[in-house]
Amino acid sequence: MAKRWYVVHTYSGYENKVKGEIEHRAEINGMQDKIVDIQIPTEDVTEIKDGGKRETKEEKVFPGYVLVRMEMNDDTWTLVRNTDGVTGFLGLDGSKPAPLRRSEFNKIMHRGGGNANGSKPQKHVTTTTNIEPGMSVKVVSGPLADFDGQVSEVNAEAGKVKVMLTIFGRETPVELTLDQITIIA
């Protein structure tokens, strides 16, 4: 019987525990050949703190969900469904869980930075920042160091801001990277 990917809903924050518990229970019950892979899609999120300090952490793309590649039968369904922290399967087709289509799985794993064989290629990086338009900032590096200005646009994904600086008596928009500025309190 074919092994397909299924989405399992868990209590939020229990994803890693559920993954370990399903793997453990599959091993004890001799079902490693039927439950063959479990993925928790993650991505690296870089947050820019005050002063341009970057902090990168791994976050779950879909909190409360785990992807399980398994042969669906009564035994495997029961094992997964009765695992502590599992609330059920996503996408019921009648009384049976509906497997993910290959395109859905690929889209989820591409976004999350993993792939079908479980290896993790370069991760998708998302940048968040507490810098907002209208904030006063000081340029701390580059040829415009020591200029003060006001943020007019923020592009967190690209890690850049547009700052209005007064150069030679005129307001001039300048694009800077987030690590080139610091917020003026």
The pLDDT assigned to 124 comes to: 47
Residue 139 has pLDDT above 60, yes or no: yes
Residue 6 has pLDDT above 60, yes or no: yes
Find the mean pLDDT for residues 57-66.
85
More confident residue, 42 or 9: 9
Q: State the span(s) of the chain assigned CATH 2.30.30.30.
A: 135-183
Q: State the span(s) of the chain assigned CATH 3.30.70.940.
A: 3-109
Its pTM stands at 0.61
> First and final CA of the chain: distance in angstroms?
63
The pLDDT assigned to 127 comes to: 57
Query: 173, exposed or middle or buried, with CB in 10 Å at 0-12, 13-18, 19+?
Result: exposed
Residue 36 has pLDDT above 90, yes or no: yes
For residue range 122-137, list pLDDT tens digits in order: 444 555 567 889 999 8
Q: Which CATH class is domain 135-183?
A: mainly beta
Q: CATH homologous superfamily for 3-109?
A: NusG, N-terminal domain (3.30.70.940)
Q: Which ranges of the chain would DSSP assign to H, the alpha helix?
A: 15-28, 74-81, 102-112
The pLDDT assigned to 4 comes to: 93
For residue range 164-180, list pLDDT tens digits in order: 988 777 888 888 888 88
For residue range 99-125, list pLDDT tens digits in order: 988 888 887 777 544 444 444 444 445
Nearest CA to 66 out of 12, 116, 28 is that of 12
Among 25-39, 86-100, 146-160, name the one with the lowest average pLDDT. Answer: 86-100
Among 2-16, 25-39, 42-56, name the one with the lowest average pLDDT. Answer: 42-56
More confident residue, 53 or 9: 9
For residue range 66-111, list pLDDT tens digits in order: 999 999 999 999 999 999 999 999 877 667 888 988 888 887 777 5
**Percent of the chain whose pLDDT exceeds 90:** 38
Phi then psi for 20, rounded to 5 degrees?
A: -60, -40
- Separation between Cα atoms, residue 41 and residue 77, nearest integer Å: 21
